[in-house]
Amino acid sequence: MAQQDSPLWETDVLVVGSGAGALTAAVTAAELGIEALVIEKGHLWGGTSATSGGTLWVPCTRHMKEAGVEDNDGDAFAYIKGLVGDDVPDSKVRAYIDNAHRMLEFLEDKCDAEFRCVKYADYHMDLPGAKEYRSHEPLPLTAGKLGRPYSSLQPMHQAAQAFGRINWTIGEARPMITKRPGWMWTMVRVGARYFLDLPQRYKTTKDRRLTAGNALLGYLRRALDQRKVPLHLGVSLKELIVENGKCVGALVDFSGEERRIIARRGVILGAGGFERNAQMRHDNFVTESSPAWSGSQQLNTGDAIQAAERIGAKLEFMDSAWWAPSIRLGDEDRARPMFVERALPGCMIVNQHGKRYMNESASYHVAGGEMMRLNSDDCPTLPSWFIFDARFRSEYAVGPVLPGPEAMDKSLKPSIREVLKKAGSVAELAEKIAVPADALEATFARFNEFAAKGEDPDFQRGVNGYDRYYGDPRSEPNPCLAPLAKAPYYAIKIFPGDIGTKGGVLTDENGRALDDQGNPISGLYAIGNTSASVMGRTYPGAGSTLGPAMTFGYLAAHHAAQTA
C-alpha cells in the first residue's frame, strides 16, 4: 500500500494507449504547453493503427483543393448524416467536420508530417455529398528518420502489405491488385526497392521503408520524441481514480505492482476496442462471434472501456464493429481481412446452402455486416465460402494465396492448404464444402449467365462507384464481374471478422466521457475505438477509423489544456 501512496508518475494529461489517436492527443497537449505522459500495456507501441492502412478520412482539406476537388462542409455533413441518421448528435458530426482538416494541418505544419489525398471513392457513392479524394495517406518515411523506436514499432498486418512482407502505398497497391495499366512496372519497382536493401535483407524481412500505418505512427512518434513526451511500455490500466467527482489519474500495473499515476488535467483513453475479448463479444454482438476472426492486434481486450464504465461512463454502439469478411489461418495470431478480393471479376460468396446473399463488391464493412445480419437457420452464413475459378486463381491474390498457376498449389504452406478447397467440378466442390450440389450448380449457372453480360440483377454488383474502385478494368463491360467457368474451382472458408470494434464510451464534441444522464465526467476523455464512433454503426470511407480517432484526440487535448 505504501507504493500506492507514492505516485509512480505525475503529469497534466495521462494518455492511455499508443495508437494514432493517443499519440495525436499527446503531441497536441505538448504543443499547447501542458505536460503529457503516454502508457502502453504491450511491449510494442503503435497499437492497431500501426498495423493498418494508415489512411485518414478527412473532408475539406487543402490537399483536395490542390487536386482540383471541390468539397464543402455542407456536402460532408449531408453525407455523414445520411448514413448515421439520428444515432449521433449533429453537434458531434459538425465538430468532426470542422476540426478534422485543422488536425491534419497541425500535424503537417507543426509536426513535419506529410500527407496526400488519394483518388479513393467514398464507400456509399450513391448518397448525396459523397466524393472521391477525402481519404488521405501519409507519405512514406524511412526507418532511419524514426530512429531507435523503429525496433519496437508494431509491424504492419500482412494483409496490408504486398506479398505479406513489402510495404506499399495506395498508389502502388491499387494497380498491382487490379492489373491496371503499368501494374507490372509498379510491381518490379516495389519489389526491387525492398530486395535491393541488402543490409536489411541479411538481417530480417522487416521493411525499412515505412508506409501506411507504420508511416503514420512514425511521424507521430517522431513528433512525440521531439517534444520529449515519455512513452512507457508494459504499463497497463487497472482502474481510474476519481476524487470529488473528477477523474484525477489511474491505477496501473507496473512490473507486476499496482501503482498510481496522477493526472492533474485529466485522462485520455485511446486504448482501442474490445475485439479480442471473447466475453464482451458474446455479451454485445447479436450472433456468434470469435476474437479469432478479428484482424486486430491481440491486446485490444476492452480494459479502458470497462474501467470507464465502472466509474459511471455510458457505453454506446457496443453491438457494432468495423466489420470485414476474414480468412483465418491456424498458424497466425490474427485473421486476414478481405478488403479487395471480393470486387475482382470471377468470384462469388455463398452461404451454407450454396446460395449468394450479398453484393460481394460492397465495402468490407457492409459485406461483413451482411454476414452477421443475415445469419440464421434459414440463411446460415457463419461461415460462408469465397469461391473462384482457375482463371481468378492465376490472376489475383486471395488473402494468403498469391496469384499463380494451379501447379503452385502443392507449394502452399500447410495452414493454407487446410483452408483452401479445390475440385475439378462444381458438384465435387459442393461435396468438399458440404453444401447442396444442386443449389450450388444453380447458383453458378445463374451467376455465370448474367456475369457474361456484366449484369447482376440480384445484388447489383459493380453498379456503385465504390464497387468499381477495386474492379479490373480489363473486364468489360463490368470490372467486377466475370463468369466462373474454368476448372479447377476453389473455395475458402470466410468469417464475419473485423478490424476493430466501434462501440465504447459515449462522448461529446470535445471527446469528454458522458454519464447515463448525458453529463460530462470531469477529467475523463475517450477517443478512437475506446469511444462510441462519430460514424455510428456506419463506415463512410477509407480512414473513417483513424480520422476521428486523431481529430477527437486533438480536441480532447485542447479541452484538457483549458482546464484549470
* DSSP annotation of 154: P
Q: How far is CA 300 from CA 221, 269, 349, in A?
A: 20, 13, 29
| C-alpha cell belonging to residue 552 | 477527437
- Assess whether 483 and 516 both reside in one domain: no
Q: Which tens digit of pLDDT belongs to each residue from 72-95?
A: 999 999 999 999 999 999 999 999
Cell numbers standing for residue 378: 434459414
Is the domain of 523 the same as that of 432?
Answer: no
Cell of 328: 483465418
Query: In this structure, are 174 and 27 located in the same domain?
Result: no
Do both 61 and 133 map to the same domain? Answer: yes
Q: How many CB atoms sit inside 10 A of residue 298's CB?
A: 13
Phi–psi pair at 328, nearest 5 degrees: -115, 120
Q: Domain tally for the chain?
A: 3
pLDDT level of residue 336 (50, 70, 90 thresholds): very high
What amino acid occupies position 478? N
Q: Is the pLDDT of residue 1 over 70?
A: no
DSSP 9-72: EEEEEEEE--SHHHHHHHHHHHHTT--EEEEESSSSBSHHHHHS---EE-SS-HHHHHTT----
d(Cα 169, Cα 211) in Å, to the nearest integer?
A: 6
Across the chain, mean pLDDT equals: 95
Contact 268, 557 (CB under 8 A): yes
Angle between helices 437-451 and 426-433 (to 10 degrees): 130
* Within-domain flag for 277: yes
Of the pLDDT bands very low, low, confident and very high (cuts 50, 70, 90), residue 358 is very high
- Boundary-marking domain end, from 497, 523, 540: 497
pLDDT band at residue 159, thresholds of 50, 70 and 90?
A: confident
pLDDT at residue 476 is higher than 60:
yes
5: confidence class by pLDDT, cuts 50, 70, 90: low
- The pLDDT score that the predictor gives to residue 332 is 92
Determine which of 96-110, 179-193, 289-303 has the lowest per-residue pLDDT on average.
Answer: 179-193
Same domain, 246 and 152: yes
Peptide bond into 520 cis (omega under 30): no
88 and 37 within one domain: yes
Strands 512-514 and 420-423: unpaired
> Are 252 and 381 found together in one domain?
no
> Which residues, 6 or more positions from 389, have their beta carbon under 8 angstroms from its beta carbon?
346, 484, 485, 486, 487, 488, 489, 490
Residue 327's pLDDT band (cuts 50, 70, 90): very high
pTM of this structure: 0.96
38 — phi, psi (to 5°)?
A: -115, 135
Could you tell me the three cell numbers for 326? 476474414
What mean pLDDT comes out for the span 267-282?
Answer: 98
Query: Are 459 and 418 in a shared domain?
Result: yes
Contact criterion met (CB below 8 Å) for 266 and 298: no
What is the span of the domain harbouring residue 200?
168-206
Query: Which of the listed residues 497, 524, 554 is the one where a domain comes to its end?
Result: 497
| Residue 3 pLDDT > 80 | no
- Kindly state whether residues 425 and 557 are assigned to the same domain: no
Task: DSSP letter for 139, please.
Answer: P
| Residue 268 clears pLDDT 90, i.e. is over it | yes
Residue-level pLDDT at 2: 38
Q: Which residue has the cell 474502385?
A: 469
CATH classification of the domain holding 100:
3.50.50.60
Asked if the model's pLDDT at residue 422 lies above 70, the reply is yes
Phi/psi at 362 (nearest 5 deg)?
-65, 170
Co-location of 188 and 282 in the same domain: no
Instruction: Give the closest residue to 40 by CA, choosing from 16, 24, 23, 21.
Output: 16
The tens digit of pLDDT for each residue in 175-202 reads 999 988 999 999 999 999 999 998 888 8
Q: Is 439 a residue whose pLDDT tops 50?
A: yes
Is residue 100 domain-shared with residue 132, that is, in the same domain? Answer: yes
pLDDT above 90 (res 6):
no
401 and 452 co-located in one domain = yes
What pLDDT, on a 0 to 100 scale, did the predictor assign at position 4? 52
314 is a domain residue: yes
Give burial (CB, 10 Å; 0-12/13-18/19+) of 479: buried
State the Cα–Cα distance between residues 256 and 105, nearest whole angstrom: 41
pLDDT for residue 487 is more than 90:
yes
String of DSSP letters for 241-277: EEETTEEEEEEEEETTEEEEEEEEEEEEE----STT-
In this predicted structure, what is the pLDDT of residue 148?
95
Percent of the chain at pLDDT exceeding 70:
99
